[in-house]
Amino acid sequence: MAVLLGPSPSVGNIYELTGPTSLDIDGLAAEYTIGLGRPIRGTGIAHDTWIQEVLSPLGLPAHLQQHLSTMALLHRAERYDRATDDVEKITGQPASTVRQYIAQHPDIFNAP
């Protein structure tokens, strides 16, 4: 980890940890389709439905659920539509693309 080996230049910096590109739901679906070799499509759901059916059942602490809910709202408002090279600045390695991550972890995506 580059920052851990020489932390002085990083003191006081704010890092935005993103992937190498910014993808919307259609872009993610396209990357998953290519990476998995099968058709994947994204479908938007209402925020309240997402909280009730996806987030709440995870049993996460309330403060974490609130954080994820807020991030989801900001994402829908395109407030996170950006990409940085901060992962590489911190780790010394570039962030993986969605396609690279799928190729590195096929078991996650091909479970029965």
Q: What's the pLDDT score for residue 109?
A: 85
C-beta of residue 25 within 8 angstroms of C-beta of residue 44: yes
| Domain that includes residue 9, residue range | 1-22+82-112
Q: What's the pLDDT score for residue 110?
A: 82
Look at residue 101 and tell me if it is in a domain.
yes
Amino acid at 56: S
Look at residue 33 and tell me if it is in a domain.
no
Integer Cα distance of 10 and 91 in angstroms: 12
Look at residue 67 and tell me if it is in a domain.
no
48 vs 25, higher pLDDT: 48
Instruction: Report the domain count for the chain.
Output: 1
Q: Check whether 1 has a pLDDT greater than 60.
A: no
Would you state the structure tokens that stand for residue 57, as one six-digit string? 């059942």
Look at residue 11 and tell me if it is in a domain.
yes
Look at residue 4 and tell me if it is in a domain.
yes
Integer Cα distance of 55 and 60 in angstroms: 8
Going by pLDDT thresholds of 50, 70 and 90, the confidence category of residue 44 is: confident
Look at residue 53 and tell me if it is in a domain.
no
CB atoms within 10 A of CB 11: 7
